[in-house]
Amino acid sequence: MIRDTELLDQLIDTISRFVRERLIPNEARLAEDDAVPPELLEEMKEMGLFGLSIPEEYGGLGLTMEEEALVAMEIGKTSPAFRSVFGTNNGIGAQGILIDGTPEQKAKYVPRLATGELLSSFCLTEPDSGSDAASLRTTAVRDGDHYVLNGTKRYITNGPEADVFTVMARTDPANKGAGGISAFIVDGDAPGLKRGPSDKKMGQKGAHTCDIIFEDCRVPAENIIGGEEGKGFKTAMKVLDRGRLHISAVCVGVAERLVEESLNYAIERKQFGVPLADHQLIQAMLADSKTEAYAGRTMVLDAARRKDDGENVSTLASCCKLFCAEMVGRVADRAVQVHGGAGYMAEYAVERFYRDVRLFRIYEGTTQIQQVVIARNMVREAN
């Protein structure tokens, strides 16, 4: 749903220029320093990127799902680590509180998430539970007007820097399923919260992850999201549709950037006396990548519009995540192939993107989890 075409076009044009003029020229710096340049972080805050999907009443831009998808496609045309720093504030870091939080929780946290004053993080994955999230072992035991949290969370995006964490912990040890899990808002300076060293990753330099360790971490009882135990896992699931569509849109943006890089190189580089673009086997790779990127764009925008219309898009969101995450991997592989030996060199953007996009098939639910979700929903709807 696009509410005001003129305003949206202005926003997309502004973000597109920001990507071209500020972010793309700093991609190598981002990778080399393993950090988003501070001045760019401040510009992101000023542009409202930390509050894209947060309602205007809380200081955000209040984009619809379709509008957010179009913006995410533009942001996807640069290194994914730039998006990662503000992505959680728009996703599970704020949406869980917005959907199920108490009025007091919303008023305290959401406006500061929208401006980027607070950097958020989401703690679900553990050393022994990833895709099987309902089997998590972190515990939260009631002690007067506090809960005491113990456990370790793993691969937590923004973990080294986050000011506030949304933490899934088991409040009912007798309930081994999702119903025994509650969601907590934990401040980054809470006593008993410790951060492990930053992880060394294959790609996405500048997007930091680490273990978050809770050792008798005391959290006020008023910080349980929604003020009620046993709702945490359901809260997380409610925001997955939006998160999966957002990541799918980012994958489309990256794919479109890679198509552009491949086409430009193929036109400029000569082999056998003619441009690479004149060779049919190169043309086939360019055509396949263009086609798949277009298919991904069409899928995401259709699902986004349906979500804005109030449809249940759980299956479609998983279809988008499954296709787009796999698609951008194929496009990245072809981009390296089109570049030949140059594509294996760090001085070319396609080498970095080849490593960066591998993560898309893993987070927000692996490809295999999307397959399970899609098939289960199909069977459920048929019976």
pTM for the model stands at 0.94
- Which one of 54, 89, 115 terminates a domain? 115
Same domain, 60 and 170: no
Task: Tell me the two tokens of residue 223.
Answer: 């910080």
- Which one of 115, 148, 179 terminates a domain? 115
For residue 151, give its domain range: 120-230
Would you list the DSSP string of 180-222? GEEEEEEETT-TTEEE-PPPP-SS-TT--EEEEEEEEEEEEGG
Same domain, 109 and 127: no
Would you list the DSSP string of 99-156? HH--HHHHHHHHHHHHHTSS-EEEE--BTTBSS-GGG---EEEEETTEEEEEEEEEEE
pLDDT number for residue 342: 95
Q: Which helix (H) or strand (E) holds 38?
A: helix 38-47
Same domain, 153 and 277: no
What are 104-162's pLDDT values in tens digits? 999 999 999 999 999 999 998 899 877 776 688 999 999 999 999 999 999 999 999 99
What are 213-261's pLDDT values in tens digits? 999 999 999 999 988 899 888 888 888 888 999 999 999 999 999 999 9
- Which one of 67, 86, 115 terminates a domain? 115
Does residue 229 carry a catalytic annotation?
A: no
Same domain, 146 and 209: yes
| pLDDT higher than threshold 90 for residue 165 | yes
Same domain, 193 and 329: no
Say which CATH number the domain at 26 has.
1.10.540.10
Tokens 């190598």 map to which residue?
28
- Average pLDDT of the chain to the nearest whole number: 94
Total domains, the chain? 3
Same domain, 111 and 143: no
Say which CATH number the domain at 298 has.
1.20.140.10
Same domain, 220 and 238: no
Say which CATH number the domain at 197 has.
2.40.110.10
- End-to-end CA gap in the chain: 32
Same domain, 127 and 110: no
In eight-state DSSP terms, residue 224 is B
What are 187-216's pLDDT values in tens digits? 999 999 999 999 999 999 999 999 999 999
Three-state SS at 59: coil
Catalytic one among 161, 326, 364, 381? 364
pLDDT number for residue 234: 85
What are 340-369's pLDDT values in tens digits? 999 999 999 999 999 999 999 998 889 999
Q: Report how far residue 311's alpha carbon sits from residue 305's, in angstroms, rounded to the nearest whole number.
A: 9
Same domain, 264 and 362: yes
Same domain, 245 and 377: yes
Would you list the DSSP string of 305-356? HHHHTT---HHHHHHHHHHHHHHHHHHHHHHHHHHGGGGGSTTSHHHHHHHH
Same domain, 201 and 299: no
Q: Report how far residue 144's alpha carbon sits from residue 33's, in angstroms, rounded to the nearest whole number.
A: 45
Same domain, 288 and 331: yes
